[in-house]
Structure 1
């Protein structure tokens, strides 16, 4: 009989707690000093709580848009210029809203693209010799968005993603050029003995964080004069892009869906084997996303339908559990079908039924009176040109009107998304 694996985990000891406090004070002072050398970044860094941890789940640093978490050992190995770089790097992840821009992209390639974008921005703010020489940087990517860089990386062999910017100077004490942890990981490390810090409690970024950081960025620009022409044209464009990001309609649709399920994860009971050691280690379990998709088959919308269904399918594939009710309608309900996650590929081959006049009211009556397989949905997505009758009052669940080009929203309630 195989003996059970013995796993030992512990909290920081007294010496580590003392060192954490000392590092916390050093980083706080460093952030204050940056008000003179890099006021724009420093003002934004004031919006984040800096937390030093002794935790094997965090090898370097990360941010959740509310905190910057630093691994104590990593920061002890960093010089003062390197610490300034790490702080600025995490701040710019928040400014650029990377935590909600990934969509269904490959995580590793997206993380590399984000770092290329951020480090290109930091090359405008740091002197050449102050940039670490083992970070992801390419002169050709300066001024490009993470989405553009992601596409360019996809055209390269995988082993070329880690091409770095080498120059005379310092090296970050990290194992790779992509040094920081973009999505904080609370899973247990594959170690028989590991350290875990109760102060490492990253929050799940939300849609409101994007708007919050846009406001922070605008305010910091005014306070420091960066938006008043005191910096070069390249920096001006960077700030402009941060304040007015160009989001395509699939991104906006995904954000709407994410909001309806409140983040798609919930905390559940910890594993019993850790309770004996006095540790509460939460896990995450997925919720089921229940959506209703209503498709107006009156005719003018159908040429845009295949692309819309392809994008919607890609978005829904990112959820653990999906129940989708598809209602075909013109002047009345013409068909109702159901899909779970395994059925989603067939959604791209959906065929319209009906093609008569248009009325949206029967869809809302159907959901209220005959909820069928999915029950009252988390949200209703209505694909239409908007020309038809709709209820005067909004239902209790969220609704988004996905309008074909030149379409018009039929009512003043609900969110509106134009296919452009």
Structure 2
């Protein structure tokens, strides 16, 4: 799962060397990148399964109005450095872990045009898992208490009759939502924000990778039994 890691990071370094026009932007991006990388080092001891998942996903800080918060295309994790700077440590670690598990579950490519519903269902299942890993979820996180621990496909069916979906707003963005260019000609666009190809081969590759890691951590304190059971069904 490490294909493309060197390419993404080399591109980031090369652009930084070649573009010195906006020193404040580069300083902010470097500052926030260091924090996200430090969070991964914490996981090496506290949540090693997440650290192993993260090893396949380079971190790319950007300043781009198409993104606003953070997203993943299964090849890298992209986050807007301006948004990241508003987060406290717990919220930042939660967001990175949330994006990791989008990849781990293969939750990158919606099964039908109702991608907004799938995003809510996916976020619910991922956040239920993060609770079991001990994360404190931000108050804005998507979580339906009537369906805690239920899989995304079941939650999706339930959401079809939900009376107030407009109140549910995911923090992260699906990669498809970042393809539309901002209408303003003054909008910020970052050359490092380059989404890759997302297809079934990629999502299946991630699921296979996650099953392998789950088997490695089976019967250890780092893989709670409910999570282990769910990953067997990937």
**TM-score where L is the length of structure 2:** 0.83
Report the CA distance between 1:105 and its aligned residue.
4.3
Whole-Å Cα distance in 2 between the matches of residues 211 and 39 of structure 1? 22
Structure 1 or 2: more strand by fraction: 1
Alignment pair present for 1:154 and 2:154:
no
**Paired position in structure 2 for 1:250:** none
Alignment pair present for 1:30 and 2:35:
no
Task: Find 1:106's aligned residue among 106, 114, 122.
Answer: 114
Report the CA distance between 1:239 and its aligned residue.
1.9
Structure 1 or 2: more helix by fraction: 2
Moved more, 73-82 or 19-28: 19-28
Unaligned runs of 5+ in 2: 1-19
Task: Find 1:125's aligned residue among 127, 130, 133.
Answer: 133
- The number of residues matched between the two structures is 213
Work out whether residues 140 and 171 of structure 2, in 8 Å CA contact, stay in contact via their aligned partners in 1.
Answer: no
Alignment pair present for 1:44 and 2:50:
no
Which structure is higher in RCO with an 8 Å CA cutoff and minimum separation 6?
A: 2
Q: Deviations over 1:283-335 (max 9, x none)?
A: xxxxxxxxxxxxxxxxxxxxxxxxxxxxxxxxxxxxxxxxxxxxxxxxxxxxx
Whole-Å Cα distance in 2 between the matches of residues 86 and 12 of structure 1? 30
Work out whether residues 106 and 204 of structure 2, in 8 Å CA contact, stay in contact via their aligned partners in 1.
Answer: no
**Paired position in structure 2 for 1:219:** 212
Q: Larger Cα Rg: Structure 1 or Structure 2? A: 1
Alignment pair present for 1:235 and 2:230:
no
Whole-Å Cα distance in 2 between the matches of residues 94 and 86 of structure 1? 13
Whole-Å Cα distance in 1 between the matches of residues 76 and 173 of structure 2? 13
Q: CA RMSD in A?
A: 2.0
Whole-Å Cα distance in 1 between the matches of residues 156 and 184 of structure 2? 33
Unaligned runs of 5+ in 1: 1-10, 164-176, 243-420
Work out whether residues 136 and 162 of structure 1, in 8 Å CA contact, stay in contact via their aligned partners in 2.
Answer: no
**Paired position in structure 2 for 1:7:** none
SS of the residue corresponding to residue 183 of structure 2 reads coil
Give the alignment of 1:73-112 within 5 angstroms: 73-100=82-109, 102-112=110-120
Give the alignment of 1:271-350 within 5 angstroms: none
Whole-Å Cα distance in 2 between the matches of residues 218 and 191 of structure 1? 44
Work out whether residues 49 and 68 of structure 1, in 8 Å CA contact, stay in contact via their aligned partners in 2.
Answer: yes
